[in-house]
Amino acid sequence: MPIYEYRCLECNTSFEKILTSSASTETIVCSHCGSPKVQKKISAASLRLAGNSASPIPAGALSGCASRSGFS
């Protein structure tokens, strides 16, 4: 289940909300003041490395054309 980050336009509080696909029509309200005037924030994605590799490069990241010549 994805975690979404929101910012309240009324009290400027930032909060997170875990949403299931069935909750996509749910009205999101601020966890601090209860206002429905919220804005979804853009956040960085989390990456999970495959296997026990200590490499900082995610598994499959170099599966395209550049994999033979390294980083481009």
What is the tens place of the pLDDT at every residue in 30-68? 999 999 999 999 876 666 666 665 656 655 555 555 545
pLDDT value at residue 21: 72
CA dist 17 to 3, 4, 31, 63, Å?
6, 5, 9, 33
Q: Which CATH architecture has domain 1-42?
A: Single Sheet (2.20)
**Ordered strands of the 3-8 beta sheet:** 14-18, 3-8, 38-40
Question: Could you give the CA distance from residue 56 to residue 51 in angstroms, rounded to a whole number?
Answer: 12
- Give the C-alpha separation, 53 to 38, whole Å: 40
User: Mean per-residue pLDDT for 7-13?
Assistant: 96
pLDDT score recorded for residue 64: 56
Domain boundary assignment for the chain: 1-42
Write down the pLDDT at residue 70.
52
The pTM assigned to this predicted structure is 0.55
Examine the pLDDT at 4 and tell me if it is beyond 70. yes
Which residues of the chain form beta strands (DSSP E)?
Answer: 3-8, 14-18, 38-40
Confidence band of 26 (pLDDT split at 50, 70, 90): confident
